[in-house]
Amino acid sequence: MSKSRLAVIDLAFKKLDKTGDGVITVDDMRGVYHAERNPQFMSGEKTRDEVFKQFLKNFEVGGHVDGKVLVQEFADLLRIIR
């Protein structure tokens, strides 16, 4: 991954990490994720909570579920969805 892409990932991570502790929590994500923009929510197929939980599953790498996203996990996800 290029240095410029890593710099963008680092900036995005820091913006999401509201407490500055190097960890993005569920509460950090809840404050910035907008379920109402999701097509499944817009169609009435899923509730806000269901859409949010579905979004959080993107960060469950290798079955490791701890409710926290570290910078490496964040970078790994962005590498996959590139």
DSSP assignment string, 22-45: SEEEHHHHHTT--GGGSHHHHTTS
pLDDT in tens, 31-47: 888 999 999 999 999 99
Task: Answer yes or no: is pLDDT of 81 > 80.
Answer: no
The pLDDT score that the predictor gives to residue 44 is 97
Contacts of 45 (CB under 8 A, 6+ apart): none
Residues paired with residue 23 on neighbouring β-strands, in sequence order? 70
For residues 35 and 47, give the distance between their C-alpha atoms in angstroms, rounded to a whole number: 8
Task: Answer yes or no: is pLDDT of 62 > 70.
Answer: no
Domain that holds residue 29: 3-80
Task: Answer yes or no: is pLDDT of 72 > 70.
Answer: yes
- Put simply, whether the predicted model's pTM sits higher than 0.85 gets the answer no
* CATH for 30: 1.10.238.10
Number of domains in the chain: 1
